[in-house]
Amino acid sequence: MIDYAYEKKIFTVISTNGTRLANPQFARELAASKLGRLILSVDGATEETYKVYRQAGHFSRVIRGIRQFIEARRELGKKYPLADLQFIVMAHNEHEMDAIKKLGKELGVDRVIFKSPQIYDFENAEQTLPQNPRFRRYHKVNGEYRLKGSYSGYCKKIWYGSAITWDGKVIPCCFDKDAEFQLGDLADSNFAEIWEGDNYHRFRNLVRNKRDSIEMCKNCTEGLKIFLNRRMHMADIKTKPTDNSVTDFLNSVEDEKKRADSFKILEMMREVTGDEPKMWGPSIVGFGDYHYKYESGREGDFFLTGFSPRKQNLTLYIMAGFKRYEELMAKLGKYKTGKSCLYIKKLEDVDPDVLKTLVTESVAHMERQYKQ
């Protein structure tokens, strides 16, 4: 099936707990295949934490399997299948984020990806949800958990992709973990018939018109509205990261107060993102990055958040925009905004906790939108 999809120029992805890779022959065959990407779900950096979520799994066996797969791919001189080590950040394992990054590097995977947990049992949500707000996809509003952000009926997955279970059932996406929404069976029909069939059309219409009626879709971040400032992107599109020293740049800020405020913002953003700052162009300090692609085909990379000590003000880049954060903005203090720019004269003009929450929420939103 993978080879057939490859011939038709369809990119394929397999998401696995990696257990079968412990079989050396299987690991080699998969490495030799035309698969595009292999997502390896490893939600712990030690046997102890791994077992909390994957109770029947064996950490050491999975790691051995991943090593075999990476080694086989290396021996074959192949770049694909790309290997992503995926880690769902939960209360019991969030202390292992650095350890899993280190493990990913040591194993030689292409990326380590952190995901926020999806909750089904909200009564016991706090037992699962991490403390780190970047990896909590829910707000608590009047005692109820609600997805951060708002969504339209838009879901690109129902138009651009499908998931197929091990036994040939076609389902809308990998969030349908128990194959509740079977749209067809490859044992009875070919994929084109299923893709164009009544079941698929009915499901697409349901998502478009009554997404709230589907529990799985209600709890999914796909299609969350974003308020990216396209105009700012157009203006800043040529802004690229450089190797210039952030410290030297900030030390060169003439205004003493602005310089001191800049170093405070630097620390706050470093703490929120967990990333090291980089100079973007001559005067923006950026943290992290994401890859964007417009429907027009234009694409590029930009930072997740950042700031610039300009002559007239301190400009903070809140890439998710402000409309979704009305409550926070009401409590923030004295400021002006552009579409994704927050302008403040000095740090004392705003509440530092509210500012930090705003940056945290924006970064979490961008990561959900572009990295999960």
Note the residues at the interface with ligand SF4 (CB under 6 A).
Answer: 155, 157-158, 172-173, 175, 207, 216-217, 220, 222
Helices 24-32 and 59-75, packing angle to 10 deg: 40
In angstroms, what is the minimal distance from the CB of 42 to ligand SF4? 23
Helix (H/G/I), strand (E/B), else coil: 46: coil
In angstroms, what is the minimal distance from the CB of 202 to ligand SF4? 13
**Which residue, 196 or 243, is less far from ligand SF4 as judged by CB?**
196
Helix (H/G/I), strand (E/B), else coil: 92: coil
> Who's near 268: CB < 8 A, 6+ residues apart?
352, 355, 356, 359
**Positive or negative, the Cα torsion across 329, 364, 216, 171?**
positive
**Which residue, 26 or 154, is less far from ligand SF4 as judged by CB?**
154
Total residue count of the chain as it appears in this document: 372
**Which residue, 45 or 207, is less far from ligand SF4 as judged by CB?**
207
Q: Residue 30 CA to chain centroid, in angstroms?
A: 26
**Which residue, 207 or 269, is less far from ligand SF4 as judged by CB?**
207
In angstroms, what is the minimal distance from the CB of 165 to ligand SF4? 14
Residue type, 348: E
**Which residue, 7 or 178, is less far from ligand SF4 as judged by CB?**
178
In angstroms, what is the minimal distance from the CB of 8 to ligand SF4? 23
| Alpha carbon distance 6, 333 (integer Å) | 55
In angstroms, what is the minimal distance from the CB of 216 to ligand SF4? 5
In angstroms, what is the minimal distance from the CB of 163 to ligand SF4? 9
Scored b (16 or more CB within 10 A) or e, 60-87 reads eebbbbbbbbbbbbeeeeeebbebbbbb
Helices 59-75 and 97-107, packing angle to 10 deg: 40
Contacts 24+ apart (CB under 8 A), 347-353: 347/261, 347/264, 347/265, 347/314, 352/268
In angstroms, what is the minimal distance from the CB of 14 to ligand SF4? 17
Which of 86, 88, 89, 90 has its CA nearest to residue 109?
86
**Which residue, 261 or 367, is less far from ligand SF4 as judged by CB?**
367
| Alpha carbon distance 362, 55 (integer Å) | 34
In angstroms, what is the minimal distance from the CB of 208 to ligand SF4? 10
**Which residue, 157 or 259, is less far from ligand SF4 as judged by CB?**
157
In angstroms, what is the minimal distance from the CB of 128 to ligand SF4? 19
DSSP state letters, 257-319: HHHHHHHHHHHHHHHHH---EEEETTTEEEES-EEEE-TTS-EEEE-SEEEEE-SS-EEEEET
**Which residue, 99 or 214, is less far from ligand SF4 as judged by CB?**
214
Contact assessment for residue 53 and residue 43, using Cβ atoms and an 8 Å cutoff:
yes
**Which residue, 173 or 328, is less far from ligand SF4 as judged by CB?**
173
| Alpha carbon distance 238, 243 (integer Å) | 16
